[in-house]
Amino acid sequence: MAPLHPIGIFDSGYGGLTVFKEIERFLPGYDYIYLGDNARVPYGNRSFETVHEFTWQCVRMLFDMGCPLVILACNTASAKALRTIQQRDLPGYDAQKRVLGVIRPTSEIIGQYTESRHVGIFATRGTVVSESYVIEIEKFFPDIKVHQVACPMWVPLIENNEHLNNGADYFVKKYIDELLSLSPDIDAIILACTHYPLLLDKIRDYLPNHIRVIVQGEIVAGSLQDYLQRHPEMNARLTDTGTRKFYTTDDPVDFDAKAGLFLGHSIVSGHADLG
Ligand code: DGL
């Protein structure tokens, strides 16, 4: 059998599955490998050095599994590790490989979603502290003012499957109140963590109706489709036999049970050994 050259999708845990779901819908023909670093999630409160070390290790695992292209379906990894991987690590490792993130595709289209030009960001502490959204959005839309709130409790609630229970409401309302207190003019909010779409219904319940909530999956999928059209040399290196493989650095049985919630169908994953 000819070796596969899948698109690799990486996240610190389950969150990237919300992006993978849309990528798979837009581009069903390609082979894919998803890797979740559930053994070390959450990344959100970790230092730049640690997020880079963990992310680069997982990206190399995906390269070793045959992926020429890896999508960091994680805002925290995109904010804290992507630039170093692209500029420092890849040239010395294999200059033909590519790693792409989720912050730029989201930033470059945000102008379509706001009339007031005040945009809110819900993200992990790491993404907020990196100021990546402020910097990226400024490049495309200098007239937009960005207001950020870190939501450190949301990923643990989701990873522990507590996000639909009543206890989650307290933390949903708390972070929404914090964000809206920063500006009464916000009319669009980016869920800038790939886990947060799982909280979408509760977030909508506590937000005024006129505020649009932007979920990244479709945006990232559209951007990848566009990237592959603009880079036929990469497209030619990818295999397209429609296979999907899932790996977790933690317990696969646990991963399979929860991954179903994110994807809406069951999967069988394997264990990826961090060594
Ligand atoms: N899903 C990740 C993101 O998009 C973060 C989760 C974590 O804190 O590890 O930022």
Confidence of residue 252 (pLDDT cuts 50, 70, 90): very high
- Residue ranges of the chain that CATH labels 3.40.50.1860: 7-101+218-271, 104-216
Q: In terms of DSSP bridges, do strands 188-191 and 212-214 run parallel, antiparallel, or are they unpaired?
A: parallel
State CA 241 to chain mean position distance: 25
What is the Å distance from ligand 1's center to 150 Cα? Answer: 11
Binding site membership of 106 for ligand 1 (Cβ less than 6 Å): no
In which residue are the tokens 């522990």 written? 160
**Are the CB atoms for 110 and 82 separated by under 8 Å?**
no
In which order are the strands placed within the sheet that holds 212-214?
Answer: 145-150, 118-123, 188-191, 212-214
Is 58 known to be catalytic? no
Can you give the pLDDT at residue 194? 95
Query: pLDDT tens digit string along 156-197?
Result: 999 888 999 999 999 999 999 999 999 999 999 999 999 999
Domain 104-216 -> CATH class: alpha beta
Signed CA dihedral, 132, 136, 142, 143: sign only: negative
Distance 76 CA to ligand 1 centre (A): 5
Q: Which atom of ligand 1 is nearest to the CA of 12?
A: 9
Q: Which atom of ligand 1 is nearest to the CA of 79?
A: 10
71 alpha carbon – ligand 1 mean position (Å) = 14
Pocket test for ligand 1, best of 37, 153, 193, 250 (most atoms within 8 A of CB): 193
Higher pLDDT, 161 or 137: 137
Of all protein residues, the one whose alpha carbon is nearest to atom 2 of ligand 1 is 74
Determine the Cα–Cα distance for residues 200 and 188; give it in Å rounded to an integer.
14
Task: Give me the pLDDT at residue 67, please.
Answer: 98
Per-residue pLDDT at 2:
84
Residue 151 annotated among the catalytic residues of the structure: no
- Judge whether residue 201 has pLDDT over 90: yes
233 CA to middle of ligand 1, Å? Answer: 31
Write down the architecture of domain 7-101+218-271 according to CATH.
3-Layer(aba) Sandwich (3.40)
Asked if pLDDT for residue 1 goes beyond 80, the answer is: no
Mean pLDDT, rounded, of the chain: 96
Which of 40, 43, 262 to mutate for ligand 1's pocket (most ligand atoms within 8 Å of CB)? 43
Q: pLDDT tens for residues 152-167? A: 999 999 988 899 999 9
Please state the atom number of ligand 1 nearest to the C-alpha of residue 11: 1
190 lines ligand 1 (CB under 6 A): no
Asked if residue 55 has its Cβ within 6 Å of ligand 1, the reply is: no
262 pLDDT band, cuts 50/70/90, is: confident
Q: Which atom of ligand 1 is nearest to the CA of 76?
A: 10
Whole-model pTM: value is: 0.96
Would you state the pLDDT for residue 231? 98
pLDDT at residue number 161: 87
Probe target for ligand 1 pocket from 127, 195, 258, with the most ligand atoms within 8 Å of CB: 195
Confidence of residue 13 (pLDDT cuts 50, 70, 90): very high
Q: For 237-262, what is the mean pLDDT? A: 95
pLDDT tens, residue by residue, 70-114: 999 999 999 999 999 999 999 999 999 999 999 999 999 999 999
Give residue-wise pLDDT tens across range 32-77: 999 999 999 999 999 999 999 999 999 999 999 999 999 999 999 9
In this model, does residue 273 exceed pLDDT 90?
Answer: yes
